[in-house]
Amino acid sequence: KRPGRGVRDIVRTWGLAQLHMAPRPRGLQRLAQISLHSYHPKFITDAVNDIRQSAAQMGIQTSGVVPLPTKTRRFSVLKGPFVHSKAIAQYQHDTHKRLIELHGASTIGQDATSVVHFLRYLEHTILAVHPGCSARVKLFSSETLEPISSSAPPPADIKR
């Protein structure tokens, strides 16, 4: 295990020149994460390019594309039904993953509304055109919690 291997080092060693990392814009909050999965890297690259172009046209700021580790699944299958246990066919199944983050000024207001509209557009239009990709979306929200002072009476609907 080499110390100090970050995502940028992984991008450099995998040779993914078209994928780049962008720092989170200052003063903006993360509103959503889109995680894309595909069995072929060409399918996922096309979907990522369409998502980033559509987000730019709608005025939504995105992070760079983060390549997540490829999950490899290998399994062996017997070729014959009975005695020939040494005749085995081996198969491999790779799942490629990419991550895109959507940023905005706050989780309440015009930016959050436009991100929700963009995610609906993503579901009905972009992912319908790319059948080889699947997406998982996480929405983020932030709320401020104010401490209850001990001198204030408890609200009427709370029983102690």
pLDDT at residue 15 is higher than 80: no
Q: Which of 99, 140, 110, 120 is nearest to 54 (CA)?
A: 120
Return the structure tokens found at 69: 């580790």
What structural domains does the chain harbor?
Answer: 29-78+87-139 (3.30.70.600)
**pLDDT at residue 157, rounded to an integer:** 67
Q: Which of 89, 98, 82 is nearest to 43 (CA)?
A: 98
Task: For residue 74, give the H/E element and its range.
Answer: strand 66-78
CA pair distance 107, 112, nearest whole angstrom = 5
Return the structure tokens found at 121: 């557009």
More confident residue, 155 or 37: 37
Return the structure tokens found at 131: 């059948």
pLDDT at residue 160 is higher than 60: no
**pLDDT at residue 153, rounded to an integer:** 65
pLDDT digits (tens, 9 = 90+) for 71-91: 999 999 988 887 777 889 999
Q: Where does the pLDDT of residue 144 fall: very low under 50, low under 70, confident under 90, or very high at 90 and above?
A: confident
- What percent of the chain stands above pLDDT 70? 76
pLDDT digits (tens, 9 = 90+) for 95-130: 999 999 998 887 787 888 899 999 999 999 998 899
**pLDDT at residue 28, rounded to an integer:** 82
Pairing of strands 61-62, 66-78: unpaired
**pLDDT at residue 107, rounded to an integer:** 77
Return the structure tokens found at 79: 């070729």
